[in-house]
Structure 1
Amino acid sequence: MTAPATASSQLEDAAAIARALYDLGPTPVIACKADPRFSYCLYVPKTLGQGGEPPELVVAMHGTGRGFTGYRDAFEEFARWNNCVVLAPLFPIGVLGDDNRDGFKYMREGEIRYDHVLLAMVDEVAQRYGLSFDRFALFGYSGGGHFAHRFLLLQPQKLWACSIGAPGSVTLLDPTRDWWVGTRNMAQLFGVAPDIEAMRQVPVQMIVGAADLETWEITHKQGGRNWMPDANHAGATRPERLASLQKSFEAAGVSVRFDLVPNMAHDGLRAVPRVQDFFADVLARRRGGAAKAA
């Protein structure tokens, strides 16, 4: 005859069920403890803690449409096969009550530093799961591409790879123009100038569709929220602007893999398989180098 379960064992069983439902696999949306105005969801491999090497972290940044769960889900298979945790942040529209859709793209909005918010999320996830993410991979498309390349300018030492997808506007490594068009006053605004040597250590992919030629959303006009002199000088279309960013990076000695995808318009989910190939290549070299060092 089976002995009745104790209250302690029942609690343990309930905790195990809750962990399997809510902490592993695709998770619910979680408020960021450092600033609950922002939130995130995760994909966590169900093999976590079952031995082997600890997982790496991939951050998938949404665009203007805030489709963050879609990007999380698009990386699920990659995460399972490559032993990675996926973090998909949500930076809502209008966190200051002004309906601003673009604040996160330019890294500063009022007192908010979006690079710091992401780093707080990364630390929170690492603590929650007993892991360490000194560096992570970052992918962003469209508005997320804005965020990804500017995060790289501000925090290159935090990244083991960066994939920059089809940003509508770019910040060039240009010391003759102010932020956000260039980097002349970056140290005054953010307390840090571009660390070119650190950027050179980060594998960079730039990806955009060859048919991504609509300009209605990306042409800055005087009087607009993000208008400044030379706002459109990097080119008229997304491929042209991303090519200008590539040229800017490569002139500074930052190597770039440039993927101009044939017959693709503005479609971030369609770009994901090429991003995953890029991350998988970098990850294999990263893990191979760690194994040799050991």
Structure 2
Amino acid sequence: MNVRAADPIDGDTARGRQMYDLGETTIFASRTDPRFSYALYVPPKFDEAQRPAELVVAMHGTGRSFIAYRDAFAEFGRWNNCIVLCPLFPAGIRGDGNRDGFKYMLEADIRYDLALIDMVEEVAARYGLALERFALFGYSGGGHFAHRFLILHPRRLWAASIGAPGSVTLLDPTRDWWVGVRGLKELFGVSLDLEGMRGVPVHMVVGGADLETWEITHREGGRYFMPHANDAGRTRPERLESLRRSFAAAGIGVRFDLVPGMAHDGLRCLEPVKTFFADCIAAQRAGRG
């Protein structure tokens, strides 16, 4: 049901919209690729606020707990007048059992970055909003996605929060994607836009006790193994620190939160993420007067 906020609607349509398109919504299939879907939190009175709603995207990890992230961000969305978009990119989408394709943006002919952009444009059309830019959060596998999306499309983001990725892409033009950024033009049709990245507030978060390595160590013969795959560090905190240093060397500022005593737990890390996004929203709205 594509109902713009300003469209006149009859009673039955209004009731259906209230039940399924506002608050914690139903799950929608992507109109451009129905293999993918998403759920939303939409503040029930988003169209009555003094300022247009912002968009926050929360990307799931390998466990695909996208509804848990939607529900965890719902209160934030309500009080900050933000629509929350939580995509679902299922595992094994090509029938091969691959759980990790979305993390690296490219899987055969699938471009996960473009799939997300299509979802954002669909949401903008459904709710009658201009959502040229949005905030992006991802933890674990979602942290893979978040920082690589930032590298490919910085001018689509007003903030990025990167949580505990198992592997990182450093801004190294001497190494091939995904370890470095050599080959972006050939693979994705874009060039590295450092100026654009410098304009995006960036947050990184990882638990101080997130030290298990069984899932993140690349081994020869693995689907995503390549030379230098493990050079950024042994643990997630070490790898995220390597990403921070790579960004800093390129003039990209980062707010870095190492959460004491926290192991690998995406829902536990959300308070610093919400604080970061709230600060960014306040700065944006103050800048607009």
TM-score (norm 1): 0.95
1:126 matched to 2:124? The reply is yes
Query: Following the alignment from structure 2 to structure 1, what is the Cα–Cα distance between the partners of residues 152 and 105?
Result: 9
2:248 maps to amino acid: E
2:155 maps to amino acid: Q
Q: Aligned runs of 1:214-233 on 2, under 5 Å?
A: 214-233=212-231
From 13, 16, 24, the equivalent of 2:14 is: 16
Query: Following the alignment from structure 2 to structure 1, what is the Cα–Cα distance between the partners of residues 216 and 199?
Result: 30
Query: Following the alignment from structure 2 to structure 1, what is the Cα–Cα distance between the partners of residues 92 and 274?
Result: 31
Residue number in structure 2 paired with 1:208 = 206
Residue number in structure 2 paired with 1:284 = 282
Query: Following the alignment from structure 1 to structure 2, what is the Cα–Cα distance between the partners of residues 18 and 144?
Result: 32
2:100 maps to amino acid: D
Q: Aligned runs of 1:30-45 on 2, under 5 Å?
A: 30-45=28-43
1:236 matched to 2:234? The reply is yes
Query: Following the alignment from structure 1 to structure 2, what is the Cα–Cα distance between the partners of residues 49 and 198?
Result: 30
Task: Note the C-alpha offset of 1:51.
Answer: 4.2
Residue number in structure 2 paired with 1:109 = 107
Query: Following the alignment from structure 1 to structure 2, what is the Cα–Cα distance between the partners of residues 15 and 188?
Result: 47
Task: Note the C-alpha offset of 1:86.
Answer: 0.2
Unmatched segments (≥5 aa) in structure 1: 1-10
Task: Note the C-alpha offset of 1:50.
Answer: 2.0
Query: Following the alignment from structure 1 to structure 2, what is the Cα–Cα distance between the partners of residues 192 and 22?
Result: 37
State the SS of the aligned residue for 1:65: coil
> 2:213 touches 2:235 (CA, 8 Å); kept in 1?
yes
From 134, 137, 146, the equivalent of 1:136 is: 134
2:112 maps to amino acid: Y
Unmatched segments (≥5 aa) in structure 2: 1-8
Query: Following the alignment from structure 2 to structure 1, what is the Cα–Cα distance between the partners of residues 203 and 136?
Result: 10
Query: Following the alignment from structure 1 to structure 2, what is the Cα–Cα distance between the partners of residues 190 and 113?
Result: 9
Query: Following the alignment from structure 1 to structure 2, what is the Cα–Cα distance between the partners of residues 213 and 193?
Result: 34
Query: Following the alignment from structure 2 to structure 1, what is the Cα–Cα distance between the partners of residues 114 and 149?
Result: 10
CA deviations 1:12-39 (Å, max 9, x no partner) are 2211111110010000110000100000
1:40 maps to amino acid: Y
Query: Following the alignment from structure 1 to structure 2, what is the Cα–Cα distance between the partners of residues 92 and 163?
Result: 22
Query: Following the alignment from structure 2 to structure 1, what is the Cα–Cα distance between the partners of residues 184 and 214?
Result: 28
1:119 maps to amino acid: I
Task: Note the C-alpha offset of 1:125.
Answer: 0.3
Query: Following the alignment from structure 1 to structure 2, what is the Cα–Cα distance between the partners of residues 113 and 176?
Result: 23
Q: Aligned runs of 1:58-69 on 2, under 5 Å?
A: 58-69=56-67
From 86, 96, 99, the equivalent of 1:98 is: 96
Residue number in structure 1 paired with 2:4 = none
> 2:55 touches 2:85 (CA, 8 Å); kept in 1?
yes
Query: Following the alignment from structure 2 to structure 1, what is the Cα–Cα distance between the partners of residues 185 and 167?
Result: 20
CA deviations 1:146-198 (Å, max 9, x no partner) are 00000000000000000000000000000111000001112211111210000
Query: Following the alignment from structure 2 to structure 1, what is the Cα–Cα distance between the partners of residues 23 and 46?
Result: 10
Residue number in structure 2 paired with 1:180 = 178
2:135 maps to amino acid: A
Query: Following the alignment from structure 2 to structure 1, what is the Cα–Cα distance between the partners of residues 249 and 125?
Result: 39
CA deviations 1:186-239 (Å, max 9, x no partner) are 221111121000000000000000000000000000000010001000000000
Residue number in structure 2 paired with 1:6 = none
State the SS of the aligned residue for 2:267: helix
Task: Note the C-alpha offset of 1:53.
Answer: 1.0
Task: Note the C-alpha offset of 1:48.
Answer: 2.3
Task: Note the C-alpha offset of 1:104.
Answer: 0.2
Residue number in structure 1 paired with 2:247 = 249
Residue number in structure 2 paired with 1:263 = 261
Alignment coverage as a number of residue pairs: 281
2:122 maps to amino acid: E
Residue number in structure 1 paired with 2:144 = 146
From 22, 25, 46, the equivalent of 1:27 is: 25
2:71 maps to amino acid: D
State the SS of the aligned residue for 2:167: coil
